[in-house]
Structure 1
Amino acid sequence: MKILKTLVVFILLQVGVAASVSAAGQHYTQAQFDALNKSGKPVVIHVHADWCPTCRAQDPIVSALIKDPAFKNVSFLEVDFDAQKDVVKAFNVSQQSTLIVFKGGKEQGRSTGDTRKASIDSLINKAL
């Protein structure tokens, strides 16, 4: 019975982790980023850390914008600040809570530590 309870808790935790990743965008992979840029699609990179209070403040804003019909053609990719150090370095990011917007494979803008919906919305609009 104890094993069954442990298994149920494990499954619920995995579902919760999957839900939090999908709410904040897809997990970043270089292949996916390259394919999106090659196709000319707009991309928003969110360099994120689970322990970061600023990132946690950005999460509901980014999640709402992902669902906004105005951004239906924008792909949102999340980079794990702690686990993907090579990617963080490649994007020349020095701290978590950084948003980078790409259009046609070229960077259009970035912000770090911004938790205001209006300015994040404005930044993402640079991808359109």
Structure 2
Amino acid sequence: MQHRVPAFLASVLAASMAVVAAPASATERVAYSDAAFAAAQRAGRPILVEVHAPWCPVCAAQGRMLDKLTAKGDRDLIVFRIDYDSQKPLWKKFGAQKQSTMIAFRGAKETGRIAYVSDEASMTRLLASMRG
């Protein structure tokens, strides 16, 4: 006796499997707020401030590389995203001069920064700077 799965059930099952198979980002990304940033600093968390523009190809490449480098369980890292186009006073406060700037902190201490690069070695060094 052969069993047939109804088409709608097959599509639900396929969609469920796609969700399970999709890699989960281990990195928590949030919009920047002074209160949340201060709380993460007090907690001693590794923090990455990301000056991002949606139209910037380097920003997109940085995001993909960050996902790759943190996919294996960097669960305590928090990324605060600052919009380059609409939050100029905020990114100026951090001393950024252009989009695609990433500034690393461990608690209240800045541990490194990169600007306009997305290569694996540079980003690995930046993330490692938060661990020491």
Q: TM-score range by the shorter chain?
A: 0.7 to 0.9
Instruction: Give 1 or 2: higher helix fraction.
Output: 1
TM-score, with normalisation over the residues of structure 1? 0.75
Measured in 1, the distance between the counterparts of 2:106 and 2:28 equals 20
5+ unaligned residues in a row in structure 1: which ranges?
A: 1-21
1:43 aligns with 47
Check if 1:125 corresponds to 2:115.
no
Which residues in structure 2 correspond to 1:1-128 (within 5 Å)?
A: 25-69=29-73, 71-128=74-131
Shift of 1:67: 2.6
TM-score, with normalisation over the residues of structure 2? 0.73
CA RMSD of aligned residues (A): 1.8
Instruction: State which structure, 1 or 2, has the greater radius of gyration over its C-alpha atoms.
Output: 2
> Contact 2:27 / 2:78 at 8 angstroms: preserved in 1?
no
> Contact 1:42 / 1:104 at 8 angstroms: preserved in 2?
yes
The count of aligned residue pairs is 106
5+ unaligned residues in a row in structure 2: which ranges?
A: 1-25
Shift of 1:64: 2.3
Measured in 2, the distance between the counterparts of 1:107 and 1:93 equals 13
Moved over 4 A (4+): none
